[in-house]
Amino acid sequence: MNEIKLTDSDMAELRTAFFMQTEEILDNLQQQIMAVENNPDETNWKALKRSFHTLKGDSKAMGFDGLSTFAHKVEDFITGLNGRDPDKTFIDLLFECADSLKTFCDALADGKKPDVSGILLKIDCHRKGNGVTRNEEGLSLRPDKTFSKSLPFLKIEPERVDRIMNLVGELVIGRSMMSRITTDIDNLDKDQISSRLDALNLSFERTLSDLQRSVMKVRMLPVAVVFRRFPRIVRDLSAENGKIIRLRIQGENTEIDKSIVDVIGEPLLHIIRNAIDHGIETPEERKASGKKEEGLLCLRAFHQGNQMVIEIEDDGRGVDTERLKENAVQKGIVSMDDAKKMSIGETTNLIFLSGFSTARSITEVSGRGVGMNIVKDVVESLRGIIDITSEKGKGTTISLRLPLTLAIIKAILFTYGNEIYALPLISVTEIIRVFPQNLETIAGSPVIRHRESVIPLITMDGKSVNNGKSFIILIGIAQMRAGLITERIIGEEELVIKALDDRTSTGIASGASILGDGRVVLILDPLYLMKKRMHDTEYKNHPPLSPLIKGGKGGYHASCIMDHTS
């Protein structure tokens, strides 16, 4: 019988597949352990044992004997308690085993040989009834409360691949039809050629649209890939803070682009940490205020138009806006007079400023004033919007609005000067037509009154305002509002984003695209435009907030072209 010899390339592929499978098993372990803690029935015990058994067999087949032995020890440890109700010490030790297995696998992937003597000693002590020791040597057993970099591959359902293959087949048929038209062109009159080309163009348009959607779906992953890590984190952090918190997850099967999944975990982790540390009260505080001792933290995801919305809601103490103002004045962020004029929305947005915190003490979880600033930066880098609604004594809801994909966007095309520009539709709230008499000036900067608010205006050249009829694109990100002055609105179009390299990249443009006629169009970054506008005016010392001035009469008559807020 011939011996099968594997090349280095074969082994590399097997290693990649092994670590991919292992990561999925380790992610599922967290949920399975919590399932046993909440309901230690036979089904949950079997699922837990099956995961360790699979890991043991796969690692043995790959030649990772140390990992196989470790998984076997944990499997025996579980078998010894099978059928009995586990106590908290046992569950904590199981979580430590899962953490150690992850650390073990990460070390193997880096070509290292980890030491697991510490966790094995803990298992032995627990089985002998001597309790769990605390300072053994070996792997670091701190729970993993960070999000590791994702592996560079995707698991794709066969049905999605089959769909793409079918569409590619239709394109091949279309190419044959085009070749036939080219061959017969001398024997066809103008009307026949036009008719056949129109039919072929419609076929290509339909097939390419379907192919585009199918390829984009290949990159889509359920947000559960991120959400499933939070039950363990909430469990551990609530115990550390002496709080009773129940996590409710909704919409975990909602899909979003893999590139967003890879980076959204850390911002969500910062928000959840803040909710546990600052938002939800201790059982004693909740009972005194007439609430249930158990706090509720809700994490939900859903699609809304061409956006993915992720909401993190808690029923805690809410945001104390007066305390936020006091801290802002003490830190010199705003003056006393400005603080008195700030609206609730403007005050709440102070928490996104770097170094700003209302925590009375710094803890391992929060209090340094950097977490929410990181959240804001990441969300904005994804061309998303973050918003906060809060009621003192009732709770807080933080909403993240993210594009479903970063590869293709819907945009508004407009002209200024002799150039065409694009603005992401996700940031456009309204388009209005105005005349010179509608414009006003405050501190030398152009503004316009609209819907009982004064909105600052932006010009592409940063200098003058057109004296004739203009169109203003109202843009909004979170609480920020501004109006971009344009000369002509071309319309709405779907654009494929091309990244700009370091030599051509500018802050004002987040990318570029190619139109159907071959012209290149810059895709403007609305956040950069608004920040630049604020930096160039007297409002630059304010936090990034707007509307700047509320109320007042003297509104103007304007024709509303389109409104995307409804």
Closest of 549, 69, 186, 134 to residue 342, by C-alpha = 549
Q: What is d(CA 312, CA 302) in angstroms, rounded to the nearest whole number?
A: 12
Residues 162-177 as b or e (16 or more Cβ within 10 Å = b): ebbeebeebeeebeeb
pLDDT of residue 478: 61
Contacts 24+ apart (CB under 8 A), 135-139: 138/100, 139/100, 139/103, 139/104, 139/114, 139/115
Q: Contact at 8 Å (CB) between 475 and 427?
A: yes
Helix axis angle, 65-79 to 117-127, nearest 10°: 20
pLDDT of residue 39: 86
pLDDT of residue 379: 86
Closest of 262, 232, 364, 252 to residue 301, by C-alpha = 252
| pLDDT, block means (10 residues), the chain with 566 residues | 65 81 85 87 87 88 85 84 76 88 85 80 76 44 48 73 90 89 83 87 88 84 88 90 92 88 88 90 91 93 87 91 85 82 80 69 51 82 84 90 82 88 88 84 81 82 66 80 88 84 67 86 84 56 32 29 31
**DSSP summary character for residue 498:** B
pLDDT of residue 205: 86
Pairing of strands 245-250, 295-304: parallel
What HEC string does 143-195 produce? CCCCCCCCCCCCCCCHHHHHHHHHHHHHHHHHHHHHHHHHHHHHHCCHHHHHH
This prediction's pTM: 0.72
Closest of 82, 78, 79, 60 to residue 69, by C-alpha = 60
Closest of 512, 528, 530, 531 to residue 520, by C-alpha = 512
Q: What is the DSSP string of 373-393?
A: HHHHHHHHHTT-EEEEEEETT
